[in-house]
Structure formats: structure tokens, C-alpha cells
């Protein structure tokens, strides 16, 4: 169970999965921030470091 110091304190989250890349997890998202994060990450090829809360393996 995760508490205040876990990922629960970062809700709502957005995960961006791309083939061959780690999964980027962004936290404390609003609908507007989610759109900006996706645009930065997918269209511009840069991560939104100010909202990044984690990276995990993925992208198989």
C-alpha cells in the first residue's frame, strides 16, 4: 500500500509508453498539463522534467 510519500501523493499520473524506450511517469497532472507533457515528449522529443516522477522499464 502506498501512502502520502508514495505515488498516491502524485495523482493524477500520465504514463508515456514508446517502443524501445523506458516508460516515463508524470505526476500531479491536470488535463492541461497532460496535453503539454505529451506534446513535449512525443512531438518535441523532450521529457517534461518538471512533472517527471519516475521511469520504468518498458517499450518492448
For 46, the grid coordinates are: 523532450
Count the domains in the chain.
Answer: 1
Residue 50 counted as domain residue: yes
Whether residue 46 is contained in a domain is answered as yes
The whole-angstrom separation of Cα 10 and Cα 13 is 7
Is 2 among the domain residues?
A: no
Nine-digit cell string for 14: 500520465
Tell me, yes or no, whether 1 lies in a domain: no
Which residues share a beta bridge with 56?
A: 23
- Strand boundaries in the chain, DSSP class E: 14-16, 23-26, 52-56
The pTM assigned to this predicted structure is 0.76
pLDDT band of residue 51 (cuts 50, 70, 90) is very high
- Binning pLDDT at 50, 70 and 90, where does residue 11 land? confident
Domain, as residue range, for 35: 7-56
Amino acid at each position: 500500500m502506498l501512502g502520502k510519500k508514495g505515488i498516491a501523493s502524485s495523482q493524477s499520473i500520465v504514463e508515456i509508453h514508446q517502443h524501445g524506450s523506458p516508460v516515463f511517469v508524470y505526476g500531479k497532472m491536470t488535463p492541461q498539463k497532460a496535453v503539454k507533457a505529451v506534446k513535449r515528449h512525443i512531438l518535441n522529443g523532450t521529457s517534461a522534467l518538471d512533472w517527471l516522477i519516475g521511469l520504468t522499464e518498458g517499450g518492448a
